[in-house]
Amino acid sequence: MRLADYTDYTLRVLMYCAAHRERLVTVAELAERHRLSRNHLMKIVTDLARQGLLETTRGRGGGLRLLGDPRAIRVGDVVRAAETDFRMVECFDADADRCTLSASCRLKSLFRMALRAYFDELDRKTLADLVTPPPAVHAGTGGAARAGRSGIADKAGGRRPGRRLRAAPVPRTPPR
């Protein structure tokens, strides 16, 4: 299964707006940031505003912003609204089904269960989960530090304040 580019861009617009809640975001900014057509983005923004997910302001100093709390916007709901067709196989559409195996085939049931599991997983995540950095995993917990939490040096070569450097893991010697 492959999501349409439209759905991908819809999620990108929402994620960007959620990450920049303190200000208005412009379509020109989104177009430049994601290297997308302004016209294509306008269609997406219009749809998202119609759905009540974005507030738009026209004119000089205008832009768009996320309406509501990113923790309340489920990824599954966004994908359902953006996608037009979840017909994975011909037999999902009774009007188009010409398969001679439909009466005894279990594939349709398997795909329906897989699609349900797919959306169950998407419904567990919100827009906030996509833009909020995950908590750091510390050395004492058995995991590696996550990117952005490991004392990465800034452009001037110094350390970012409040960050710790971790020793690099010792590489294992391959078995002979």
The model's pTM is 0.68
Tens-digit pLDDT profile for residues 17-46:
999 999 999 999 999 999 999 999 999 999
Residue 151 resides in a domain = no
Lowest-confidence pick of 13-17, 121-125, 131-135: 131-135
Residue 154 resides in a domain = no
Residue 89 resides in a domain = yes
Instruction: Give residue 49's domain range.
Output: 5-131
Query: Alpha helix (H) ranges present in the chain?
Result: 5-19, 27-34, 38-50, 75-82, 107-123, 127-131
Tens-digit pLDDT profile for residues 58-115:
888 889 999 989 999 999 999 999 998 777 666 666 677 777 766 677 787 888 899 8
Q: How many CA atoms lie within 13 A of 118 on its CB side?
A: 13
Residue 155 resides in a domain = no
Residue 166 resides in a domain = no
Residue 127 resides in a domain = yes
Q: How far is CA 138 from CA 141, 148, 161, in A?
A: 6, 13, 17
Q: What total number of domains does the chain contain? A: 1
Q: Are 17 and 25 contacting, i.e. CB atoms less than 8 angstroms apart?
A: yes
CATH number at 83 reads 1.10.10.10
Q: Which long-range contacts (CB under 8 A, 24 or more apart) does 106-113 make?
A: none
Residue 111 resides in a domain = yes
pLDDT confidence of residue 12: 95
pLDDT confidence of residue 6: 94
Residue 136 resides in a domain = no
pLDDT confidence of residue 99: 73
136 pLDDT band, cuts 50/70/90, is low
pLDDT confidence of residue 137: 64
Residue 174 has pLDDT above 50, yes or no: no
138 pLDDT band, cuts 50/70/90, is low
- DSSP SS3 for 63: strand
Q: What percent of the chain has pLDDT over 90?
A: 51
pLDDT confidence of residue 88: 67
Q: What percent of the chain has pLDDT over 70?
A: 68
Q: How far is CA 118 from CA 1, 7, 55, 111, 115, in A?
A: 10, 15, 29, 10, 5
Mean residue pLDDT across the chain: 78
